[in-house]
Structure 1
Amino acid sequence: MPKFLDDMRQQVAAASGITASDLPFLAELIDVPPEQARWRVAVETVLGASARLLLIPKDRFEHFSQAVNPLPLRGRLTFEAVELGLNGPADGDPERIFGKLIFKDSPFTGWVRRHLAEPVRNARCVEDPQNLAGHELRVTLAGQTRLGTRGSHGRNDQSDIIGFSNEHTIAAIDRELKQIEDLLKSIDREREAFDEQLRELDRRRAAYEAITATTWEDIDVATVDRRIEELDSARRAILGADDQLQELQRRIDQLGKTLEAARERKYGLKKVEADLKEAWSSLTSTNDAVRGELDRLATLPHVLLDDVQAAALDAHFAAAVAPADPDNWEQFPTHLARLRQRLVDAAATARGRASNAESELERVFSAYQLKFEDPNLGRTAASYPDYARILQAIVTTGLHERREEWRQRLMKWSGEDLVPLSGAIESSIEEIEERLDPINDILGGLPFGANRDRLRIRLRRLAPDAVIQFRKQLRQLSSGATRDLREEQMEARFRELQQFMARIRRRDDPRAITDLSDRDRLLDVRRHVEITAERYDSEGQLLSTHSSLGGKSGGESQELVAFIVGAALRFRLGDELRLRPRFAPVFLDEGFVKSDSEFAGRAVQAWRGLGFQLIVGAPLDKVTALEPHMDELLAITKNTSTHYSFVARISDTGRRPAVGAVPTQRDSTTAMAPAAPGSTEPANPGETPATRYGQTVMW
């Protein structure tokens, strides 16, 4: 559908409140099937006016007409009321326009079928103009129409609009673009031919201009030669007639030779000067380079060569400069470069031999591990001293003694190392449970929430399959005796122990196998438990379980955070034997700013009940929620002129206390109440904030 028609449809749809999909053009509800594609021109010609008809549901036609009347449309939009859900005629005569169409399934289809089946639009299709004669409407393939003695040919709009989609239009545009591209290529070829003709004409014009600008005297060589000969004859005649002129000529010739010789000597001296300057520049650059190299060498640590190293270096130097003379110091930079290259090549060869030797050692060490596995030995060249000690011990002690020592070490691993590990894992979890008991005792006396419920920290042991299997294997390895095992049983036990140790090695351990190491998940008991907060009512009924802060208001979240963070700090700073935490003061910046007085009060009581001393910092407008619960109120203000901050204690009596000036680098002022910024009276040294447990200080 052309854009201007669709734009007008969008305008009237917006004005009438009817969606554009409920206002179709008739052209969007019909299409020409591929087998009838050659009749598209005829269909577009006969149905051109009807295809551009906008269909309006009949029950909304009056509303539509009233709504679009004020619109200043840029074009003429034709529309018609259509009754929906009608039954139209079936497929028509394939020799007529109606029979060459397919229809889209929609509420408008019945009306569209009736409309197009009317004789004034359902033209008979004929192949050529000879068959146009008759009393009914007929149309040719080319789009010529005739009704009796009246006919027409041609189209006002050459674009095709009938169809369910724009594929046909796109194909037509593609064909047109192909024709335009072919035309442009043809024009380019013609332009290139014209350009070549223009260049040829330019070359001819330049040749003609050169010929026109040339005179005969410029190209008549014989005439010029005769004129030169005549002038020479006249000159010789003049000189022959006057002895004085002859003497002057000889003098001129002699001076010319002298001048030429002087010029040659001058040019020679200039060349010598240039060579000297170039040599001086080269020597200066060399001197600077040598001085820089000497300075660099002076800053480097000196290496003293022994006699063997010095002799080897001399041999390398002689071999590098051969067959040149190594004592020729003028060629020393070149000789030094050759020596450097030889040493680099020798070092590369030595590194290659070292790499091969290292690979051979690793192969030997790997073969040893396959035969005699040892988790304490690596397989790289870095373990060479360990293997050397093993070899020396085998040679010194003997294989039998080494076998017995290995059995004793295996017994030590099984008994002395693994048994404490199993007990430590179990005792760590029990220790966490024991340290939670006094915290829960404290929380049992602190009201939580608006209904004054109670909060309890609950520990639940997790049982991941990997951890269960690990601990089962740990008990098996730590409980069995190895003294009475046969050799093959001991080796099997050793392999089990080796695989077990690989799972708990640190990843940075050179002996660790990255794919097997799972130390944190297996040994960190914090991953073996889950900590939640349970809320109980006054009768001991479980109300809720908290594992996150989701779904709570700001005040509820801050109260829950106060209880949980306070309990966590008490867990870290105390134990079951302490009545108070090891460190009591807690600073809260902008604490409880989202809580009302009730939430803040319960949170403060929780902190104090857990044995902490609160020091809370908050803006001036957030003080009221905490005011009933504070023991001390300090106001801090800043003088923007002097850049000094002042601290003042505020009491209920309204008495203004002493204010002290404190230099600060803060860029903003945090104030709880007005203070005297201009005062320099020293503060009372005996009044220090937060001097006892359970005290709450605001600043």
Structure 2
Amino acid sequence: MTMLDTLFGLIPAESRGQQWVAEDLQLINWGGYDGGPHRVRFSPYATLLCGGSGSGKSTLMDAYIALMMPHTTPFNGASNGGITGRPRGDEQRNILSYGRGKIDESRTDEGTRLRVLRGDGEDTWTAIAMTWLDHDGSRFTALRAWYIPAAARILEDTVRVRATFDGFFDLSQLEEAASQRLADSALRTLGLETLGTDREFSARLHAVLGIGAAGSGAKAMSLLARIQAGQQITTVDDLYKRLVLEEPETMATADAVVAHFDELESTRTSMITARQQVNALEPIQGIRERIAAAAEQVRLIDEVGDFASPSSRATLWRAERRLDLLREVEAELRDRTHALDLTLREKKALVDAAEAERDGLLDLLRQSGGDRLETAQRELRAVERRLADVRRERDRFDAVLAELGLSASSADEFAKVQSEARAAQSEASARRQARATFAEAESARQSLAKRRRALAEERAEADRLRGSIPPALDRARMLLAEAAGLDVDDLPFVGELIEVRTEFEPWREAFNLALGGFATTLLIDDAHLARFRAAIDEVRLPMRLRYEGVQAGLAESPNGDGRTLPGRLDHRSTPFTGWLQQRLDERFAFVCVDSSSQLSAHTMALTITGQMSQGTRGAHGGHGRENVLGFSNERRLRALDEQAEALEAEVAAATAAVTEAEAAMDAIEQRSTAFAMIHGLTWEQIDVDSLTQELERWTAVEAEVTTANPEIAELRERAETLKVKAAVLRDEIGAVGAQRAEAQERWGAVTDDVDDCQRVVDEAESLSVDAAQAAFLDERFMLSSPSDAEGLSASERLARLDLALKSAAARLAADRRAAEEAHDEQRERMRQLMSSFLERWPNLNLLPDPDASVDDFLRILEALRANGLHELENEWRDSLLKLSGNDLTSLDSTLSRSVREIKERIEPINSIMRELPFYDDQHRLQISPRESQSEARKRFRRDLREVRGLIEAASTDDEREHAYKRMSRLIGRMRRSAPDFAELIDVRNHVRVSAERVLAATGEHVALYDHIGEKSGGESQELVAFIVGAALRYQLGDAGASHPRYAPVFMDEALIKADAHFTKRAIGAWRGLGFQLVIGAPNDKYSAIEPHVDVEYTILKDTRGRSWAKPKVAVGE
């Protein structure tokens, strides 16, 4: 838009600096204004539209809004201050509802149905046009039209027309274009200039009609819309902020700061996400390699096969490796055999030389008297051997005697011991008695142990039971219940339903005896009796059970006479209890008496010992029977615990008896065994003293010969040395011979092995072991490195290989299992990694399939690495701090500037109002701004400066991270959703505005106008007219002109709360400011307005919902 610099500021070039007034408004098919065109002509000064509620006044006003205002301006603002939802949305009046002429809604079986004047199941159209008149007679028309298809649900489904015309345009000319769905070509044929967007349309209107200074037409139209809505306002501050001030720049600046931060933060978040994704995906390559390695391991093992198979690669590898080693061993054994042959020849020669020398020495020794010495030495050696044997036997004999507590140092004493031994062998009766005693004690102990186990089982089963009924009876009941398909609770024993009252506990045994078998009778509902009998007929029980069908559900009675047996019992509440109480009263109403002498005094009586009488009959005995009465199993468990404690003492005593009998039997057996050991001995076998004397005699002979001829000892020593040497050499010859034989045998075996391995290799001509297979088998079964083989012979290396090959099959199987497990484990780990990745970052194009999707995941990883986002986080954070720090600086300055601008904007408005009399000719109205302070705003501004300082001073990662967190919290307070956003950012809240009446001549203060609600309706309307009218002149860019360039001001339900005097002054204020007024008012509230308008229309509506405007005072032709 081209602007001209004038005395009044920048104004549109196309505006001629004069005034446009609304001449007339045309409607076709708009709301209740069906058909048309409907035409309303306006006075250049003031026009009144009056009518009843719902007649269509606001519909006319909304037509002006639909034509002139942006789509964010809601309809019917004056009547519906409490409306919610999006402006012109489904919940409010909108173009579609006006175009179809919505009447109301009704509920049908299909849902809510609209009642409309037109467009129900068919296409329709609507149009609005306004013509303005300039002072020179020029006219300008703007129109909007909508073609609404039957299926249209939202505005975007319609054909929208925005057009202007230089001059007056009759809307009836659109009929032909409407038949062509308002095609652009048809509109241009009519001379209309169409515009494609709302922005272009508004710019055209603002340019031609001169709306707004410096291109701020949108602000002027926004103020006109707020004036037209005429919402209730209570203070001058609220009036000025809602009707004059637009949304401050600070809010847009804060939004920009937040948006900038969020944009950079979003990038940072993307980088963090990328880093997390890279970290999550990086293990995939390693896992894939491990999966491949495990699969390759399995493949290699499968390819080499089993060592047990003669045609496998493993067998061929074994043959080749053993063949190489066997040939080395063969050469080694050949060399060893030759070396052993040489050693044998050498040692045989040494033996022959030693024996020849010894023979010469022996001849010399015999010539020197050595025969007698040799005899003495021979006898001496024989005696030493016999003495050693006798001593061993004597030691054993003395140990046996020590066990028996006996001794024998002479032949006579030995004879006595032998007699005792023979007597001990005949003590068979003592042994039998000891064995019998042991067997009897052991039998008693086992019997008690069996009783203890049975008692423990009974205790466990009793713990399961609820009452005192024996387990055997309970098991029988369970069999019957299972056969009959009943629950155990449906078959109670009588004893389970009754309990002896605590104060009568001493009578428990007597009551058990008196009730007898009735206490163990099963009760069953007689409704189930026939089915029960049929079901249990085939059941075999080890004991006989009595049952009785009873009437269930009878009412229970309170406890009876405490002197009788039934009165001394408590009853568990069940369906059978009522019947049981009756039966006890009928059959067991025994009177409990203190002594037998009282039995005859009653028809039925019972003593505490259990004797009972029934007339002349009676019964006694049976004491010691188990208790079967009681709800709880506590009494039975206590009794069983007492039995178990007593039984433990018996078991301990029996165990001690067994130990004692066993010890006695062992003593007898030990004595018999000991005597058996010495029974066959003779005195000569243990007579050490006699042999000791003989040894001393031969030792003396040897000493005598040696002393007589000293040379004999030397000769004999030399001969003995040669003898030992020859013996040693012969042993060595034997050892070397054995080694040679072993080597020879080993050589033969190795030769056979070589032949076998060569045969395996020859037979496997079509089979080969590749390098990978050979390397795998070498690593598993050969020495791991040359350093390990260093110093080992070929035989040792072959032995190690054969030892390793013994477990080769098991090791290969274990290796294969381990590889398979590793493969499965790594695949599962891969799947879990993929699943975890997709849970955090869903991707419908990916599946957690370790086989099919691994390449896709790796491509994602490569893309992330190529992108490099994950490595730029620190750089982006620094950039974020720098840029956002600049934004904070901009916001801080904008906050200060915006408060200053609010104050500055008031001065032009005050200048306008200084020329307008207010209250009377001597007074003027002025607006007074006052900046307000709050601790929250001070702290916010201080935080802005501190965070900027932190950002500038940050030099380390920790400091930058701290500054970033502080800034993030600060940005959070700038968001529109923040609770203190309006307090901190909306600078309109930083200034308090009031009005004051001053003297025109001096500007002296006369009166303060703060709360509009304190004034009368007329005074408040006059005040609003002055303030808003002056502000509108400023917004329109006409502050210094005699008249505003754009004059129309529409006011819906305004000026209706004042009397004629104040209404006149309010209208006078608007007209004095040069505005053209179009006022809407209800029928009962327009009387004060009517005298001050030039044109008046009455808005009417018929019973079918159609509206029209009837001139009451029309515009003169």
Fold agreement, TM-score > 0.5: no
Looking at CA atoms only, which structure, 1 or 2, has the larger radius of gyration?
2
Give the alignment's TM-score, normalised by structure 2: 0.23
